[in-house]
Amino acid sequence: MQLLLKSVDFAARAHRDQRRKGPAEEPYINHPIEVSRLIVECEPHAGEDILCAAVLHDVIEDCGATRDEIAACFNEVIADIVLEVSDDKGLPRDERKAKQVENAPNLTPGAKLVRLADKVANVGAMLTDTPIGWDEKQILAYVDWAEAVVAPCREVSNGLSDRFDAIARDVRAFHDEKAVAGK
Ligand code: ZN
């Protein structure tokens, strides 16, 4: 519990100036907290390291934290999972997205759990807090991409896989209808 709260404290400070992309402009920290909550709800025995890694999953990618810093503040297991799920921001967006699909089968089980829960949260946001400026086509393409990333991660959690399928179905139904209505 102590380590988990330490990770929340670390991530909250690291993300302090960031907001989510939706109109609600939610504090960014709501997202990693949601990701770790999804994991503990679906996989109650996941363990503290994985929950901490979920809380910290965007601090390398978005805040410039390093793997060694996380290893020093937390432990090697957590640091490795966070590194595994971090995109290389030096690459163009399309290449980063292609790499996520390509690398998903090679992730360790802990990283697959974080990846899967991350996609449940992000696809869910397409319904509750759609990123500003995104059109229907972009949203539906995002769901397709997320599904491709999730495919090799499903084996680690039936519960999270089911949640992903339910939310992807809802997002597609909602935005398909909007796309049809807009024509
Ligand atoms: Zn995320």
**Residues 48/3, Cβ–Cβ less than 8 Å:** yes
Q: How far apart are CA 122 and CA 30, in angstroms?
A: 12
Could you say which of 41, 48, 58, 62 is catalytic?
62
Which percentage of the chain shows pLDDT scores above 90? Answer: 83
pLDDT > 60? residue 110: yes
* Best CA proximity match to 57, nearest among 77, 86, 28, 27: 86
pLDDT score, position 183:
55
Q: What is the pLDDT of residues 77-91, one digit of tens each?
A: 999 999 999 998 889
* Best CA proximity match to 14, nearest among 27, 23, 24, 26: 27
Q: How far apart are CA 152 and CA 100, in angstroms?
A: 11
pTM for this structure?
Answer: 0.94
62 noted as active-site residue: yes
Class of domain 2-182: mainly alpha
Q: How far apart are CA 58 and CA 11, in angstroms?
A: 8
Which percentage of the chain shows pLDDT scores above 70? Answer: 98
Instruction: For residue 177, name the pLDDT band (cuts at 50, 70, 90).
Output: confident
Could you say which of 34, 48, 49, 61 is catalytic?
61
pLDDT score, position 181:
72
**Residues 146/123, Cβ–Cβ less than 8 Å:** yes
**Residues 88/96, Cβ–Cβ less than 8 Å:** yes
**Average pLDDT of 93-116?**
97
What are the boundaries of each domain within the chain? 2-182
Residue ranges near ligand 1 (ion) with Cβ within 5 Å: 58, 118
* Best CA proximity match to 121, nearest among 167, 58, 155: 167
